Each structure stands twice: as C-alpha cells, then as structure tokens.
Structure 1
Amino acid sequence: MAQTINTAVTRTDAPRKVTGTATYAADVIPAGMLHGALATSNIAVGTLTGIDTTRAEAEPGVVAVFTHDNLPDYKTVKGFYAGGPGSASFWPMEGTEIKYAGQPIAYVVAETAAAARRGAQLIDATYEGAEAHAHMDPEESFVVEGREGEMITTKGDIEQGLSEAAQSIDVEYTTPFQHHNPMEMFAATAEWRGDRLTVWMPSQSVRTLRGGIAAAYGLPETSVRVISPFVGGAFGSKAGITPYTMLTIAAAKAVGAPVRLIVTRPQMYTVATFRPESVQKFRLGAAADGKLTAFEHIEIAQTSQFDDVVNPGTHITRAMYASPNIHTEQRLARSDTNTGGFMRAPNEMQTFFGLEQAMDELAHKLDMDPVEFRRVNDTDRHPVADVPFSSRSLMESYDAVSESFGWNDRTTEPGSMTDGDWLVGYGCATATYPTNLLASNARVRMQGTGGAYIELAAHDVGTGSYTIFAQIAAARLGLPVKSCDVVMGLADLPVAPISGGSTTAASAGSAVHDACLRIGRAVAQQVSAQSEGPLSGVDPSQITLDNGVLRGPGGQSQPLVEALASTPAGEIEVIGEFRHPALTDQLIRATFAGGYGTAGPVTPEFAMFAFGAEMAEVHVHRWTHEIRVPRLHGAFAAGTWLNRKTAHSQLLGGMVWGIGSALHEVTEVDKPRARFLNANIAEYLVPVNADIREVRVEMLEEQDDYVNPLGVKGIGELGIVGTAAAIANAVHHATGKRLRHLPIRMSDLV
C-alpha cells in the first residue's frame, strides 16, 4: 500500500469540528419542530396510582402531554429486546408498573425546550411504593437458564491443581456502577411525512435503528431514514434503541409535527445503559517455579429485574495464561435498576481489574517479579480452545514498556521506595481486547479526474473513521487522502456493522479495501481490451493493483487514475465486501438485519486478540494519603496501525479513562431510595488536566494475516483494560495495602 497507511494523518474532519460546522444529530431543526421533555418516576419499585397532567397542559407553550393512557403506537415495540435492537425488554409508559427510579412516566411536547421542561416539572404523580434495592446480592446470583454450556467452562480439575500448588490465593474484587457522561447529550429528533419517518439521533448503529423502528411500526425499511453523521462520544451508550427514542417517534406522530428531545444530564443515568457493578472471584495456584497449576474465575455481574444482560468477561480472562486446570463461570444477580449494557471494554475493564491484581498477589506470594510471573505463564495457544493465537505480542509489549518505564529500577519490597513524604509504587498489568469479525459492505466511486467517494453505513464516534477510510482508499487507489471523500452515518448506505467491540476499522475498513481492489480489476479489464496503451492486450487476470498503479507481468504499468480516465465512462462505482471465512451465513444475515452477527475472537483455526502491557507509577502522601499518578506507560500490539495519530489518541484516551476508573469514577447510590445519587457532570468525578501527568504510548509493529486483509485489530477499548489494575498494584507496592475495590480513595489508605 501507499504510505498513507501506518502514518500520522491529521483527521480530515478536524476543520469542521474546530470551526463548529460539523453537524450532530441535535443540530438539525426541521421546519415546525416542537420540543420534548421527560417526566420520570420518583420511586424505584411500585405502582403509579395517579398522574395529573392539568398543570402541565395549562403551562404556556405546552402542546401535548402523553402518559401511558394516551400515547399512541408505542406498545407495538413490545418484545423488542430478545435478540433484537432494543436496549431493554421493559418499555416504560406501557402501564402503571414502576421498575426503577427515573423511569419515564410522561412525555411533554411544547413550542420551546424551556416550556417542555417546565411542563414536565408540573406533572403531579402519586405512587404506591415497595421495597427496592439498587445493589445486587451476590449470594443470589444465577447462571442464565439455557446458556449454562456457554457460561461455564471447565478444563482439568481445579481442586487437584490447587492441592498441587506451592502457593495459592482465594480473593475477591469488586467494581462499582459507572455511567456514561458523553459531551454530546442523548437526543432524538423525529419527523413523520405520512408513512415516511426520518430520525436524527447520535447512534453507533444506524442500521439497527432503522431495522428496529421499521419493525415496530410495520413499515418497510425504505420508509425509515436514520441520520447520524457525527457522534460526540458513545463507547456503548448509543448502541441500541432506547425508550426515549421510541417515545419521541410516537409523540411526533401524535402531534403531527417534528419533535426533538434532548435528555437532561440526570436523566441520562436511567434512560440508557451503564456499566453494571460486579464481583470478581479468583482462585489461583502456582508451582514454586511460577507456573499456574489452577485458574478459577467466577464473575457475578448486576442486571435488572427484567433482563439477563451478560457481558462475559470470563471468556477473555481464561484466554490469557496457560494452566492445566481452568474453571470459569459467568453469573448474574438482580437488582432494581434500569438495564445495564456496554461501556468501554464492557467485558474486560472490570474483569482485568481482578485478574491482573490476582496475578500480582500470587507473584508476591511466590516472591517473583510480576513481569516474569506473566512471562512464565505466557502461551502461544488458547488455554481452553487449544488453537494458536493468530498473533500474540504480550511479552514483547512487556519488554518494551519495561524499558521505557524503568521497571528494573524498582525495589521489590512494598513501602521501600520513597520521595520525601511520598511513598512510591510501581505496578504493571496486562491489557487485551478480542478481535471480533463482522460482515460489511462499502461503495466506492472513483473518477478519472482524480477523486474518490466512499459511502457506507458506518459511524464516526470520535475515533477518526472518516480519516481512516479515506486513508485506505487513498493507499489503494493512489490518490491523496484529501481527494477521498467519505460519507457515513446514513442508514440507507451500504451495510456496515455497529461501531462497537472495536470492529469498525477492521471490518468496514476491509470492505473499503475490497472495493478498491475491485476497481483495479474492473479497470484492468477495460484497459487490457483497448487497442493501445501500456496494458493493451495483457491478460487482465495477470494485472495487479499496487499503490495505485496497475502492473502487468512483464513490467508494464499505468497509474490507475490515468487508466480510468482513458475508459469511455471515465469513472467507476463498485460495492466492496468483507466476509471472513469464520462468518457463517447466519451471522452475515444478522448483521444485514441490523444485529451483531459477530464471529471470534476464537475460531476453529485461531484465537484473535490485541495485546498490551501497562505500567503505572503511583505516589501516596505519607500523611494526607493523597494519591497521584505521575507516570503511566503502555506498549501495545494490534496488527497494522492504519493511522498512527488517531491510534495513539485512542490508546492514550483509554489509559486516561482508566485512571478515572481507578481513582475517581463511581455512581453513588441512595440506598434507601434505590436511585443513582450523583447523576450530574459535577459530582460524577472524572480526571481533569491536573490529574494527568506523563502518559506514554508505544505502538509495536505486528503482522497478522488471518484477522482480515488489512491485518487490523481493534484498539478503541484496548487502552483502558489494564490501567486500573496497574494503578492498584502500584498502590500496593507503595503502601503494602491491597485494595480490591474501585475506585481507590484516600480514605482507603488511612
């Protein structure tokens, strides 16, 4: 490929974003648009015994107030969740039952946003409440019925392995509720024109939205348009169809005018999904030489009373280290909240907080260097599936970060390193993320005048997809990146998968790559049939496309753009496809229906993961117990780096988020009322500039010919996975205190 790949290319959409001309979903104002606002429940569990909308309806500017009694068309979405696009199976405003605090109970439509919100505040509701608990009881956990074989894995004999161990641990780690707080608020705008519907909404899957909405209203998909050109932060929060979306669509249909809803910051905590709290139980045993003899991980994750949402972290932890005896188990426990879902590295962040601390604890008991302990247990085959990794650069990552960080400068005894009144600790942890495969299409139109247009129903959630797709096309077609225009975020474009699971660059990018190759083959057919020209008479099957140049077997060559200009049409349009051999027809159909038809990370041939290693330096003040992270280094290997600048930003951003998860981020719970307490951007703490010192990212070169034609693995979530554990391990090294919960606070170190 041309040198646009694996280089640092500035985002093509940067000028639009910094000048404010990038259009986000809530920026669109259809003619005659009205405004929506939600009223939500004050109790967590019980019954809505009465709802009086008189004062709201009398508020100046209010056009309509909808409740469960008068909202039309909404009940048709029931049953949306199981295997479908809905974010939950329970849809509010279908009746009087209250299942969680903050559940929508009324929808107000007004001429202005202020009037709509005033109207929502004037809703008078009465309830009959019942006892509620937002926190789960791990003792009441269960394995999802019918999925036992998928949720429980056993290899060998755990008890035998523990009995043979020179050292063992039996430990438990907990992680809290955490909530998305993207800069772009949750929003939806709906406009009906007869039986044709347009929805503007920040979305990670416009195809999912279109298919689900069409099914709910019994419309052909061609009658529904979903538009989401830019997304201002997502990482799971904008992945499925939420109740507030369907409420807005129903309200717009009822009032006969476009309606826009911008969800308030506090309401964002209950109208979408979040990271559930979890308990991670580990029993590990190792021989005197450090080799694991037993590996057991039982994860208990919180879910709502009405959905069995499993984000299976045990699938990932059991792939990390070699052991002859392995047992993993994925369990759920219910509580009275809305349904949780995806949040950056939804399977990995919390499980690796447990796993990588457990590995550190066992290394300490063995009196082994934690890095060497991981080296002893490294493996080139999946420990359970017994297939080779398509590529695995874990220890190469540790070697690189150890050198940059100065790991060998540490003294091993906890509390032995100081800097004045500061206790100093070093900690390390593994990062990984599975490589998931999804089918994708992309349309590319190239002109002999030197331009290309790339169209696909993918999304840019802030990760740089516009730039990456332009780079791929430029590399193959031999054009400048600036000459490649990318159009995304429209549901009626060629199918692309959900922007989740770190799949966009690999799957959709491979479809763009394939389209460019098809252009090369098609143009080769035409120029070989010409009466004159460099490739006239050459067997087209022998003509290859290399860095934008068509090359024949005898050294003949012609730039693709020049060859295309010589054809009668002077332009060409093709549809490219990505269909990995591991993708079955059923999985491909699921993606084309707007679902998540993913294969991997384990296939019959290979196990596919990106890897990394992170090291943290932590300072803890001897007297005040203030915690600082002056240094955080990471080294990562993820196949081909398409854009070194955007990739570096993703990895660095994930590590910064990881600092937040370790030291700041928690959704506090009002226990008596079973509601989320700090539901605002002021009290939900995240890192700010003063919290972040030196964050260094090293990107290792790695070739993987199996994962996809580009050799690309996902990186959007990789950077966050090991950070919290590395910081917790560093806190232990600094203080001698092992803290097995998140976030780590000053009060924990008193």
Structure 2
Amino acid sequence: MAQTINTEVTRTDARRKVTGTATYAADVIPAGMLHGALTCSAIAVGTVTSIDTSAAEAEPGVVAVYTHETLPDYKTVKGFYSGGPGSASFWPMEGTEIKYAGQPVAYVVAETAAAARRGADLVQVTYEEGESSIHMDASDNFVVGAGEDSDGMVLTKGDLQAGHDAAAQSVDMTFTTPFQHHNPMEMFSATAEWRGDRLTVWMPSQSVRTLRAGIAGAYDLPETSVRVISPFVGGAFGSKAGITPYTMLTIAAAKGVGAPVRLIVTRPQMYTVATFRPETRQEFRLSAAADGKLTAYEHVEIAQTSQFDAVVNPGTHIARAMYACPNIHTEQRLSRSDTNTGGFMRAPNEYQTFWGLESAMDELAWKLDMDPVELRRVNDTMTHPTAGVPFSSRSLMESYDAVSQSFGWADRGREIGSMTDGDWLVGYGCATATYPTNILASNAQVRMQATGNAYVALAAHDVGTGTYTIMAQVAAARLGLPVEAVDVVMGEASFPVAPISGGSTTAASAGSAVHDGCMKIGQQVAARVSAMSDGPLSGVDASRVTLEDGVLRGPDGQSQSLQEALSMLPEGEIEVIGEFRHPALTDELIAATFNGGYGTAGPVTPEFAMFAFGAEMAEVHIHKYTHEIRVPRLHGAFAAGTWLNRKTAHSQLMGGMVWGIGSALHEVTEVDTPRARFLNANIAEYLIPVNADIREVRVEMLEEQDDYVNPLGVKGIGELSIVGTAAAIGNAVYHATGKRLTSLPIRMSDLISS
C-alpha cells in the first residue's frame, strides 16, 4: 500500500469541525419548520387518567398539542431485542399505560422552541400511580433464552465441581456495576419533513438504513420514499443506534401539522427517552492449582432489563474466551425492573464483566502469592477455551510484556501497602482488555477519474471516530492518490449499504468494501487497456495484472499507473460497487444487514475466534487521611491487527482509557428509589473525568498481522481500551490499601467504610 495506511493522517474533516462548518442533523432548517417539545410522565408505573391541554393550546405560538388520543397513527415496530429496529418494544402515547418515569405522554408543536417548551410545561396530566421498583432484585432472575444450548446463554464444559475440588486456591466473589448514561455532546434530535407521501428525516444516527427500513414499515411506504440523513454525529456510544419513540412522535407530529417539525430533546429527557447501560451483578468463582493454572471457572451475570424487553448483552461469552480452563460454567441471566429498555453503551458486554473477571483474577493471584501478570501468562491460550477453535491472532502476553516495560511493573512492591509517596499510599494494578472482532456485510460506491480524483459513497456514519478520513485513506492507498484527492460522502440511507456504527465494525467492514471497490477498478481498467493495440499492458493477460499502490503490474514486469491507464479510456473514469462478504457471513446474515438489521458474524466462526487484545496498568495514589483517590499514571498496550490511522487510533485508545477512569471513579446514574427515577439527569451532576483528573495516559500500539478477519487485517478498536481500566484501578487500590472493593464507581466513602 502507499503510505496512507499505518501512518498518522490528520482528519479530513478537522477544519470543518473546528470552524463550525460541519453540518450536523439539527443544523438543517427546512422552510416553514416548527418546533417540538415533549411532556414526560411524572410517575414510573400506572395509568394516565386525564390530560388537560387547554393551557398549552392557549400559549402564544403553540400550534398543536398531541396526546395518545390525537396523535396521527403509525404502525409500531419491534424493539431491537425482539428482532426489530426499535430501541424498545413498548411505544409511548399508544394508550394510557405508564411503564417508566419520564415516558413521553404529550407532544407540543409551536412556532419557536421556547414556546414549545412552555407549552409542554403547561400540559396537565393526572395519573393513577402503581407500585414501582427501579433497581433489579438479583434474587428474582431468569435465564435468557431457553437455557442450555440457547446461543450459549448457559454453557457447561467439563466437570466444574471436580475442578474446584482439585484446586489449591479459590475465590468466590460478587461484583456490581451501576446504571450509566451515554451523555453524548450532541443532543438527541429529529427533524421530519413530509412532502406528500415522501418523507425526509434528519437525525443523528448510528444506522441510517435501520431508521429508513423501520420508518418505511411504520407508514407502509417503499423505502425509496424515505430519506434519512445523518452527515455527522456528535458522539453516540450506542445511544443513537435504533428507532426511538421521540423520532416516531416527531414524524407523526409533522404529518399532523402539515409542516416540518424539529425536536431537540432536553438533557434530562435524554435519560429516559432512549437507552442506557443497565446495572449488573457479576458472580465469579475461580479455582486454580498451585502453579496458577485455572482448574474451574464459574461466571453468572445478572443484568437489569425492562418489564417489556429482554436486553441481552452477553458478557459471559466474552469473559470465558480469555483464559484456558478445562472446567467452565457460565450463565446469562436477567432481572426486571421499571425503566425504559436499556441497550448498548460503549463496550456493552465487556466493561462490566471484565471489572469482575480481572478483579477476581487479581484476588486469585494474591491468594497464590503470584505476580498477577504471570497468572495471566500461565493461563494464556491460543485456542478458544469453549469453542475449541484457534484465535486468528492473539497478542495478549505481547501486550503485557510491552506495557510492563513502559510502566515499570518490575518496581512494584510485593506486599500490600509497601509503596508510599509522602502521605499517599501507592498501588499498582493490571488488567486484561479485549474486544471481539465482529463482521458485517458492506458495499461502497467507488469512482476514479483520470484527473486524479476519486469519489467514495456509502451509508456509513462518522460518530466522531474519523470514518471519513479512514475511508479516504483506504481508497488513496489502493488507487495511488493523495488522501485529499478522495471525496467521501456518507450518512444517507440511499447510499450503498454499510453496517451499523456499533460493535467497532465500521473501519473493518466498510473499509474492506472500499478496498474491494478499488481492486475492482484495477481489474476492469486492466481488462480494457490490455485489449488495446498499444500501451504498456497491451496484450497482457488481464487476469494476471495486479494493482499495487495505484500501479497496474503485469506478470513480466510490465507496469502502468492506474491514472495513466484511465486516461486511455474514452470515458476517463470508472465506477464500481465494492463488496465485503466474509466467508463466515451466511445469506441470512447478509440479508439482515441489507434489510436494515445487524447481521453480524463472529467473533467465533467455525475456523477461528477473532478478538483484539490489550493490557493495562494503573498507578493509584490514595491519601492516608482524606482517602482521596488519584490516578497519576495509566498505561496500555494494544494489538488489533492493522492500524489504519495511527493518529486517530491513538486518540480512540487514549479516549477509551479516559472513559475507563470515569467508569472506575466517577460515573453512576443516581437513583431516586422511592419514585423509581433517575436523579442526576444532567451533565453537572453526572460526573465524568475532567482535565484535572487525567495525568499521564500512555498508549502503545503493537504490530499484529491477521489475514483472516478481513482483507485489510483490521480489528475494531473503538471500545477495546475501556475494558480493562476499571479493574486495573481497582486492583491498584487493593495493592495500596488491602481493601478489595467490588462495586463501581470506587469512591472515597467506600475506602472509609471498608
């Protein structure tokens, strides 16, 4: 490839973003646009007994007030966890039933945003309130699916009890993680404009094709009659992945008033009208022989879910892939409570389970009087512990070796509390990070011109990760062009199909489709020029011509630049559709993606298990008297196949580690238990790290080759570095204090009370 891959490339959209000229969904203002606002339920469970809209309707500027009785009809769609495109399977304003606090009960349309919000505040709703509970009762749980053999939700390998009985040491521990909310910088919004039976929706989305398919189905429209546009997304983290009720309410309101309507959801309402990270309970029982090799591995995850959906983010599947063990038992369970449906939040399967697994592994290392890194080493494996297939590549211990060197792990005191810095107790902790490599089908339109320009179009999304730049890099590398000569357009459902921006799949799957398109251009141009009577490739067998860095090369040393060859064609350009179809993708999975779904293969296929790996080490300082917690150093080393852009990849990995610090020490959605409500529904009281919290964060990016995952050898990294951070910090806290904390976030009060 030309040197646009595995190098540092500045984002092609950087200037637009810092100057404010990048267009986000809510920036679009159709002619005659009105404004929407939501009135949300003040109770968590019950029924609406009456709604008085008269004061709202009398408010100057208010155009219409919709309730369950007056909202224009549409067909509701299934929720994601029921096989549909919706963020939940329960749709507000279909009747009088209230199932969670903050549920929309009325929609106000007005001439200005201020008038709409005043009107929403004036809607008077009376309720008959029922009993509610927001926290799950972990003792009241059920197995996801049909139990044994239900997609591995319950899995047993070997003789678990015999493994425990044979052990020299065991740990039996329970860990918990709290509710969390995504809080992207860009607010949730939806703008809808009807023109007859044709609809355009502007909305920040992680899957424009999912939106288009679901909306078209709700209104019995052909998909060609629905445009969904999302050119840039200002952060999502899983919160903008499906069709939300506020989207459908806005579309219905626009239809009702006969004018475009834009809704910008308020920050407090963002906590209830979309998804969140459910709270979980992780039960681990690990046993090991005296040499540290695991003899039994037992993991039960109990996750909160709503009363009307089964939110399955199976962390047990990922955790059991980590370490060799002959006897394994895992269970994926759910417990219901009165909330909206949770969903994906960055590393949705991994964050909570690795907080438990890696903390339990650290505890086991202390019981065995063994270096925690060496415990991971003796249990490392090149074969998936339960699937029995080899890993396509696995650089876990290479990551540990690299980070140990940079961090100075050899200087770690072997005794608890043995390291100090004045009045500060010092602790070192380590943890494994991993993320599965998921595969989805993708297409991409690629056009190259003899002028030395190229055009790439696909229905992918840039959620802030640099996708515009990555797609331009791939095309530039294959076609032999500078990155700035490649024009990339994305974020519209009518473009060639691309996967949902979730599961860290876009660069690998969509990038491979762009790669294929470029190779097809090379093949087609070679076939044309080889049939000509003159030219460097005249008479050459076109099937033996290869494209390398923008140069067509024949079998006997003949060569011609692709741009020069294109100039020999009368059209002076060529356009193709690139495709990515991994052998593990079945027809059913491909069809799911093309129909707006999530047709993913992996991370385990019949041939290989595909994961990215990393290792993280944290230094923690805890004040002897005040119990303040500081993280002056956090190092991570990661291996994820080919690095497409070392600058944006480094940013992603560092950002994930900072996110991990937040999960360890700051983030929690506080709950008003008696009223079953989320309490700190704003970014003033929902704590995340600030500059003063972050000191030295060092990222090492290891070279790794993986020819199986996709033609580019790329694994997803957007969530990888979050996974081990909390456990590394928790393990460092134990090293400093001897106090094993099992609930996130870790707070000063936990150290005092323990």
Residue in 2 that maps onto 1:656: 658
Supply the distance in 1 between the matched residues of 2:468 and 2:355 (Cα, whole angstroms): 33
- The residue type paired with residue 35 of structure 1 is H
Residue in 2 that maps onto 1:491: 493
Supply the distance in 1 between the matched residues of 2:204 and 2:286 (Cα, whole angstroms): 43
Which of 319, 335, 349 pairs up with 1:347? 349
Which of 242, 256, 259 pairs up with 2:258? 256
Seq. identity, %: 83
Residue in 1 that maps onto 2:58: 58
Supply the distance in 1 between the matched residues of 2:83 and 2:245 (Cα, whole angstroms): 17
SS at match of 1:535: coil
Supply the distance in 2 between the matched residues of 1:122 and 1:206 (Cα, whole angstroms): 34
Deviations 1:560-583 (A, max 9, x none): 011101111100000000000000
1:640 aligns with 2:642: yes
Please, which moves more after superposition, 617-626 or 527-536? 527-536
Deviation at 1:147, TM superposition (A): 5.5
Supply the distance in 2 between the matched residues of 1:369 and 1:705 (Cα, whole angstroms): 34
- The residue type paired with residue 264 of structure 2 is I
- The residue type paired with residue 598 of structure 1 is T
- The residue type paired with residue 397 of structure 2 is M
1:79–1:302: structure 2 CA closer, same or farther, 3 Å change rule?
closer
Q: Which runs of 4+ in 1 moved over 6 A?
A: 78-81
- The residue type paired with residue 354 of structure 1 is G
Deviations 1:523-559 (A, max 9, x none): 0011101111111111111111011100111111111
- The residue type paired with residue 707 of structure 1 is V
Supply the distance in 1 between the matched residues of 2:287 and 2:194 (Cα, whole angstroms): 62
Please, which moves more after superposition, 532-541 or 286-295? 532-541
Deviation at 1:144, TM superposition (A): 2.5
Residue in 2 that maps onto 1:446: 448
- The residue type paired with residue 554 of structure 2 is G
Residue in 1 that maps onto 2:475: 473
Residue in 2 that maps onto 1:735: 737
Supply the distance in 2 between the matched residues of 1:395 and 1:650 (Cα, whole angstroms): 22
Equivalent positions of 1:202-351 (< 5 A) are 202-351=204-353
- The residue type paired with residue 12 of structure 1 is T
Residue in 1 that maps onto 2:134: 134
- The residue type paired with residue 652 of structure 1 is M
SS at match of 1:74: coil
Deviation at 1:145, TM superposition (A): 3.9
Deviation at 1:235, TM superposition (A): 1.2
Supply the distance in 2 between the matched residues of 1:469 and 1:74 (Cα, whole angstroms): 37
Supply the distance in 2 between the matched residues of 1:80 and 1:594 (Cα, whole angstroms): 11
Residue in 2 that maps onto 1:9: 9
Supply the distance in 2 between the matched residues of 1:74 and 1:581 (Cα, whole angstroms): 39
1:659–1:37: structure 2 CA closer, same or farther, 3 Å change rule?
same
SS at match of 2:36: strand
SS at match of 1:357: helix
Supply the distance in 1 between the matched residues of 2:247 and 2:751 (Cα, whole angstroms): 44
Deviation at 1:130, TM superposition (A): 1.2
Equivalent residues of 1:174, 1:279 under 8 A apart:
yes
SS at match of 2:618: strand
Deviation at 1:73, TM superposition (A): 1.7
Unaligned runs of 5+ in 2: none
Please, which moves more after superposition, 139-148 or 498-507? 139-148
1:549–1:200: structure 2 CA closer, same or farther, 3 Å change rule?
same
Residue in 2 that maps onto 1:89: 89
Deviation at 1:78, TM superposition (A): 6.4
Residue in 1 that maps onto 2:562: 560
Equivalent positions of 1:65-80 (< 5 A) are 65-77=65-77
- The residue type paired with residue 17 of structure 1 is K
Equivalent positions of 1:329-408 (< 5 A) are 329-408=331-410
Supply the distance in 2 between the matched residues of 1:515 and 1:217 (Cα, whole angstroms): 35
SS at match of 1:6: coil
Residue in 2 that maps onto 1:191: 193
Supply the distance in 1 between the matched residues of 2:277 and 2:242 (Cα, whole angstroms): 15
Supply the distance in 1 between the matched residues of 2:595 and 2:671 (Cα, whole angstroms): 38
1:549 aligns with 2:541: no
Residue in 1 that maps onto 2:582: 580
- The residue type paired with residue 47 of structure 1 is T
Deviation at 1:414, TM superposition (A): 1.1
Deviations 1:664-689 (A, max 9, x none): 00000000000000000100000000
1:251–1:114: structure 2 CA closer, same or farther, 3 Å change rule?
same
Equivalent residues of 1:76, 1:217 under 8 A apart:
no
Deviations 1:343-371 (A, max 9, x none): 00000001000000000000100000000
- The residue type paired with residue 746 of structure 1 is M
- The residue type paired with residue 456 of structure 2 is I
Deviations 1:174-217 (A, max 9, x none): 00000011110000000000000000000000000000000110
Corresponding pairs, count: 750
Equivalent residues of 1:348, 1:433 under 8 A apart:
yes
Residue in 2 that maps onto 1:32: 32
Supply the distance in 2 between the matched residues of 1:372 and 1:578 (Cα, whole angstroms): 40
Supply the distance in 1 between the matched residues of 2:417 and 2:304 (Cα, whole angstroms): 36
Using the size of structure 2 for normalisation, the TM-score is 0.99
Equivalent residues of 2:78, 2:88 under 8 A apart:
no
Deviation at 1:413, TM superposition (A): 1.0
- The residue type paired with residue 618 of structure 1 is V
Equivalent residues of 1:154, 1:328 under 8 A apart:
yes
1:449–1:147: structure 2 CA closer, same or farther, 3 Å change rule?
farther
Equivalent residues of 1:144, 1:332 under 8 A apart:
yes
Supply the distance in 1 between the matched residues of 2:307 and 2:490 (Cα, whole angstroms): 37
Equivalent residues of 1:165, 1:285 under 8 A apart:
yes
Which of 422, 430, 437 pairs up with 2:424? 422
SS at match of 1:138: coil
Equivalent residues of 1:74, 1:247 under 8 A apart:
no
SS at match of 1:673: coil
Deviation at 1:63, TM superposition (A): 0.2
1:538 aligns with 2:540: yes
Equivalent residues of 2:497, 2:594 under 8 A apart:
yes
- The residue type paired with residue 361 of structure 2 is M
Supply the distance in 2 between the matched residues of 1:693 and 1:414 (Cα, whole angstroms): 24
Supply the distance in 2 between the matched residues of 1:260 and 1:101 (Cα, whole angstroms): 24
Supply the distance in 1 between the matched residues of 2:140 and 2:156 (Cα, whole angstroms): 22
Residue in 1 that maps onto 2:22: 22
Residue in 1 that maps onto 2:118: 118
Equivalent residues of 2:637, 2:701 under 8 A apart:
yes
SS at match of 1:619: strand
Residue in 2 that maps onto 1:711: 713
Deviation at 1:66, TM superposition (A): 0.2
Deviations 1:136-155 (A, max 9, x none): 00000101243542210100
Supply the distance in 1 between the matched residues of 2:120 and 2:159 (Cα, whole angstroms): 59
Supply the distance in 2 between the matched residues of 1:572 and 1:147 (Cα, whole angstroms): 53
SS at match of 1:280: strand
Which of 141, 159, 162 pairs up with 2:161? 159
Equivalent residues of 2:44, 2:132 under 8 A apart:
yes
SS at match of 2:135: coil
Supply the distance in 1 between the matched residues of 2:614 and 2:487 (Cα, whole angstroms): 33
Supply the distance in 1 between the matched residues of 2:75 and 2:649 (Cα, whole angstroms): 43
Equivalent residues of 2:75, 2:217 under 8 A apart:
no
Supply the distance in 1 between the matched residues of 2:415 and 2:246 (Cα, whole angstroms): 54
SS at match of 1:618: strand
Supply the distance in 2 between the matched residues of 1:180 and 1:288 (Cα, whole angstroms): 43
- The residue type paired with residue 583 of structure 1 is L
Deviations 1:428-473 (A, max 9, x none): 0000000000000000010000000000000000000000000000
Residue in 1 that maps onto 2:625: 623
1:78–1:369: structure 2 CA closer, same or farther, 3 Å change rule?
closer
SS at match of 1:650: helix
Please, which moves more after superposition, 524-533 or 582-591? 524-533
Supply the distance in 2 between the matched residues of 1:274 and 1:81 (Cα, whole angstroms): 14
Supply the distance in 2 between the matched residues of 1:588 and 1:521 (Cα, whole angstroms): 25
Please, which moves more after superposition, 293-302 or 65-74? 65-74
